[in-house]
Amino acid sequence: MSGFKSDFLRTLSERGFIHQVSDETGLDTLFQKEIVTGYIGFDPTASSLHAGSLIQIMMLHWLQQTGHRPIALMGGGTGMVGDPSFKDEARKLMTEETIAGNIESIKRCFSQYLTFGDGLRDAVMVNNADWLRGLNYLEFLRDVGQHFSVNRMLSFDSVKLRLDREQSLSFLEFNYMILQAYDFVELHKRYGVTFQMGGSDQWGNIINGIDLGHRMLDAQFYALTSPLLTTSSGAKMGKSATGAVWLNADLVSPYAFWQYWRNTEDADVERFLKLYTTLPLGEITRLAALGGSEINETKKILATEVTALLHGRNAAEEAAETARKTFEEGALAENLPSVEIPRDTLHAGMGVQALLVQAGLAASNGEARRHIQGGAVRINDEPVKDERAVVSADQLTGEGVIKLSLGRKKHILVRAV
């Protein structure tokens, strides 16, 4: 399995990125012989990608690092259709404006991982709306549709799931895989792409693209998929206490992002170091060998390294320092997330429930009340027992803030402005 000779495949294999490869020896040879242009598609379904997409971004990163050329394909066109693969229900259709806005917002984080430009090995970001939007239905059916067998399409697991569950699959969604296959062909024409990567749930879609390449262009395409990642206890990657772990800093702060990785399960530490950091394998082995509570030091390195890749070294170290002060010294860390409350309001006194809601620690007064009753809320580290307690300006500490905590891990600084 890991007898790969090319840098790229060897690296991916050693670091645990590979789930399936379409033609191992053929692809390995290709990577040794020439600069390969490969791509991964991203759905602009939200204004940011989340931690679940990080593995794909890392694959593009390694592709470039080992001397090849990555393309990040934004599914601006396919996003208008919606990928039905393994989904229970039809995805809500998005408007063009939403999609365009999302793409714009997603773009930013890629530049942290890839070097864009016009050079041979420079990364490119493209939008499949560029060629999908202008398609002529009849021509498309004749040129592309004739190569697809519905019988075969129905046999793909991604589709079968929906049918077996007796859930409807609209013709619109059914076409998604055809469009995605067509992307592969189009990218080959435009950029000489011969290689596509993706999550293992994309295997069927990608294979369709390879077949279409054969039939339309008599070209040889290759595919590689990454394993579907879950934590050791089975949770999906990218979900956390507060919801999805977004990559954009305006949705999830560098500190929160750092915390997410800091709380990695023991059993996942080595795997995550390999997948999400660029630390050398030897060092990872050494770090992962630490047992018992010493592994906490390794988790901090994991958190800092992953955060540094995304948000920069400074932001990562700042997050690490904030966490250190808060959790190891029990001190008030200046850089904790904060919420601003008008000075007048605070002087007049504000109910804890309302404050919890304002701070985003509770979704409603009712939830806030339950948290108080459950003994989870503290102000300046003093437990709050009375659900009607009032917080006022005289509780501001010397630093001019009030530390509001929910549970042992969530701390918010209340600032008077």
**Amino acid code (one letter) for 153:** M
Q: Interface with RNA includes 330 (CB under 7 A)?
A: no
| Length of the chain as a residue count | 417
Sign of the alpha-carbon torsion through 138, 142, 146, 148: negative
Specify the residue, 118 or 328, whose C-beta has the smaller distance to RNA: 328
Q: Is 392 helix (H, G, I), strand (E, B) or coil?
A: coil
Q: Is 160 annotated as a binding residue?
A: no
CB of residue 389 to RNA, shortest distance in Å: 14
Strand partners, 70: 38
Q: How far is the CB of 230 from RNA (least distance, A)?
A: 11
Bridge partners (DSSP) of residue 382 are: 379
Say if residue 415 is exposed, middle or buried (CB neighbours under 10 Å; 0-12, 13-18, 19+): middle
Contact status: 385 vs RNA (CB under 7 A): no
CB atoms within 10 A of CB 350: 19
Has 259 been labeled as part of a binding site?
A: no
Q: Report if residue 406 touches RNA, rule: CB under 7 A.
A: yes
214 is a site residue for RNA (CB under 7 A): no
Among 20-28, 204-212, 339-347, 368-376, the segment contacting RNA (CB under 7 A) = 368-376
Sites for RNA among residues 233-292 (CB under 7 A): 233, 235, 239-241, 259, 262-267, 292
Q: What are phi and psi of 132, to 5 degrees?
A: -75, -35
Report the relative pairing of strands 239-240 and 243-244 from DSSP bridges. Answer: antiparallel
Residue number, 316 or 376, with CB nearest to RNA: 376
Are 20 and 224 within 8 A, CB to CB? Answer: yes
Is residue 407 a contact residue for RNA (CB under 7 A)?
yes
Q: Check whether 239 is labelled as a binding-site residue.
A: yes
Residue 152: Cβ within 10 Å count: 12
Q: How many residues bind RNA (CB under 7 A)?
A: 46
Q: Which of 367, 379, 380, 396 is close enough to bind RNA by CB under 7 A?
A: 367
In the bound state with RNA, the residue whose beta carbon lies nearer, of 25 and 263, is 263
Strand partners, 73: 41, 126
Q: Comparing C-alpha atoms, which of 417, 411, 410, 414 is closest to residue 358? A: 414
SS3 category, 106: helix
Q: Which of 118, 166, 329, 386 binds RNA (CB under 7 A)?
A: 166
Closest listed residue to residue 416, CA positions, set 332, 341, 333: 341
Contact with RNA (CB under 7 A) among 2, 88, 92, 329: 88
Residue 137 in marked binding region: no
Residue number with CB closer to RNA (34 or 89): 89
Regarding 61 and contact with RNA (CB under 7 A), the answer is no
Is residue 328 a contact point for RNA (CB under 7 A)?
yes
- Name residues whose C-beta falls within 8 Å of residue 105's C-beta, 6 or more positions apart in sequence: 47, 48, 248
Contact pick of 323, 341, 401, 404 for RNA (by CB under 7 A): 323
Toward RNA, which CB reaches closer, 109 or 413?
413
**Binding-site annotation, residues for L-tyrosine:** 39, 176, 180
Which residues here bind RNA, judged by CB under 7 A?
Answer: 88, 163, 166-169, 232-233, 235, 239-241, 259, 262-267, 292-293, 295-296, 299-300, 323-324, 326-328, 363-367, 369-371, 374-376, 406-410
